[in-house]
Amino acid sequence: MIEKYTLDNGVRVIVEKIPTVRSVALGIWVGTGSRHEEAGNNGISHFTEHMLFKGTKSRSAKEIAESFDHIGGHVNAFTSKEYTCYYARILDEHAPLALDILADMFFHSTFDEEEITKERKVVIEEIKMYDDTPDDLVHDLIAKASFQNNPLGYSILGTEDVLNTFTRDTLIDYVEQRYTPSNLVITAAGNVSDQLLDSIQSYFSTFSRELKPSSGALDARDFDSTVRIRQKETEQAHLCLAFPGLEIGNEDIYSLILTNNILGGSMSSRLFQEVREQRGLAYSVFSYHSSFKDNGMFTVYAGTAPHQLEEMYKVITSTLQQLKRDGMSADELKKGKEQLKGSLMLSLESTNSRMSRLGKNELLLGKHLTLDEILERVDQVSLEHVRSTIFKVLDNKMSIALVSPFEQLPATFNQKDLLS
């Protein structure tokens, strides 16, 4: 059972008690990410995340790491386009200590100038590593092609030039403006005790900051039909095709998830079978849907030898056109539903997955569906519903991103192929 509490200062606490397990997953979720940035501070959300691990007034970076190692726990963090999360998974008996460390990091990080200088070099190496991984880089490019100068198209890591402008004051100002009670969600899943809930209230109910609005990006629903190419001497050509998707709370979201499963979400999907199994054109080929608070992006990815790029593109577009023309079969829909329900229920066996689900749902949706409610919505999806969703997504704009030795798209590429 999911329980929600709102502290006096506006901090939301979402708890799912599972007394049959011996672990607890804790998360501190801040509603800030790269889409809340501007060109002049792009990457600050991710850099701030790194710096919260670099020492507090009472613990060094090494002591933070050692504290979790000593109790056999796991601590980490990540930044996305719309939120930042600091989380830990520990044995239930060690949950009070884990909470104490996470709260210490949240409130008392020192942002030491020497540590900032060292960590800036670390993140710059992370950017370079990412740039050397073309099958990751192309997904950054497709976001830029689809959203252009909107912050949704920004890189989460930022750029070296912008990172070099960050100072201690820059980071502290950002924390004070975005790490505020109204923008904060604390989640806990597992064998959560009442004493732990009391401690959460003790740590997080007294601080006060006023949220500074972001640059207006949350009203953006635009999707640009453009092309982005990064020429690199790669062994493969890495291709992404993207289409306007659906926001996270859209009533058609389960229909689109089922469509994705059938198109490119599994080894039995149409794209995997056509591109890899039947023609041997790619080792990796898949599709995925990214849902944001107010919009989304549906993407197809595949990587192949440069001389096979045109053939692979034709096979992908032909598969998409067939899906638009004929829809999916009743057997495919049934299989997709069982696959989705199985994946959902298996994921809920992890306290960490449950904790993550609580945080994302609260920040982006503001509500929490029960498992039965979700399964009912999946079962209600019909073939006509799926067909309508396919046309809504594919019968619109398309953006293209390519990382390859080519300077431009092959002449046979036609963005209008799928839109006619």
Of 68, 111, 67, 112, nearest in space to 90 by CA: 68
Q: What is the pLDDT of residue 240?
A: 97
CB 126 within 8 A of CB 157: yes
* Residues facing 244 on adjacent strands: 297
CB 230 within 8 A of CB 141: yes
Would you place residue 418 in the very low, low, confident or very high pLDDT band (cuts 50, 70, 90)? low
Cα atoms in the Cβ-side hemisphere of radius 13 Å centred on 195 = 8
Mean pLDDT for the chain? 93
**CA distance to 44, 80, 84, 120, 249, per residue, from 132 (Å):** 22, 20, 25, 18, 35
Would you place residue 242 in the very low, low, confident or very high pLDDT band (cuts 50, 70, 90)? very high
Would you place residue 79 in the very low, low, confident or very high pLDDT band (cuts 50, 70, 90)? very high
* Residues facing 290 on adjacent strands: 297
User: Which tokens in the block code for residue 402?
Assistant: 């390519």
CB 52 within 8 A of CB 61: no
Would you place residue 32 in the very low, low, confident or very high pLDDT band (cuts 50, 70, 90)? very high
Q: Report the pLDDT averaged over residues 211-232.
A: 77
Q: What is the pLDDT of residue 81?
A: 96
Q: Report the pLDDT averaged over residues 5-22.
A: 96
Q: What is the pLDDT of residue 420?
A: 56
Q: Report the pLDDT averaged over residues 234-259.
A: 95
Report all structural domains of the chain as residue ranges with CATH numbers, in order of start: 2-204 (3.30.830.10), 221-418 (3.30.830.10)
Instruction: Inform me whether the pLDDT recorded for 277 exceeds 60.
Output: yes
pLDDT more than 90, % of the chain: 87
pLDDT (tens digit per residue) in 286-342: 999 999 998 999 999 999 999 999 999 999 999 999 999 999 999 999 999 999 999
- Residue length, the chain? 420
Q: Report the pLDDT averaged over residues 110-114.
A: 97
Q: Report the pLDDT averaged over residues 248-253.
A: 93
| Cα distance between residue 190 and residue 18, in whole Å | 5
Would you place residue 415 in the very low, low, confident or very high pLDDT band (cuts 50, 70, 90)? low
| Cα distance between residue 384 and residue 376, in whole Å | 17
- Which helix (H) or strand (E) segment holds residue 311: the answer is helix 309-326
Would you place residue 250 in the very low, low, confident or very high pLDDT band (cuts 50, 70, 90)? very high
* Residues facing 91 on adjacent strands: 23
Instruction: Inform me whether the pLDDT recorded for 211 exceeds 60.
Output: yes
Q: Lowest mean pLDDT: which of 10-24, 60-74, 196-210, 340-354?
A: 340-354
Instruction: Inform me whether the pLDDT recorded for 233 exceeds 80.
Output: yes
Instruction: Inform me whether the pLDDT recorded for 217 exceeds 70.
Output: no
Q: What is the pLDDT of residue 220?
A: 54
Q: What is the pLDDT of residue 407?
A: 86
Would you place residue 254 in the very low, low, confident or very high pLDDT band (cuts 50, 70, 90)? very high
Q: Which residue has tokens 């005790």?
A: 193
- If one counts every other C-beta atom within 10 angstroms of the C-beta of residue 170, the result is 16
- Of the residues 16, 37, 49, 115, which is catalytic? 49
Would you place residue 408 in the very low, low, confident or very high pLDDT band (cuts 50, 70, 90)? confident
Return the C-alpha torsion angle 359, 364, 367, 371, nearest 10. Answer: -70
**CA distance to 21, 191, 263, 286, 374, per residue, from 344 (Å):** 19, 21, 19, 19, 9
Instruction: Inform me whether the pLDDT recorded for 218 exceeds 80.
Output: no
| Residue partners of 294: CB distance under 8 A and separation at least 6 | 218, 219, 220, 221, 247
- Which helix (H) or strand (E) segment holds residue 51: the answer is helix 44-51
- If one counts every other C-beta atom within 10 angstroms of the C-beta of residue 404, the result is 26
Instruction: Inform me whether the pLDDT recorded for 419 exceeds 60.
Output: no
Q: Report the pLDDT averaged over residues 391-415.
A: 86
Would you place residue 221 in the very low, low, confident or very high pLDDT band (cuts 50, 70, 90)? low
Is 49 labeled as catalytic in the residue annotation?
Answer: yes
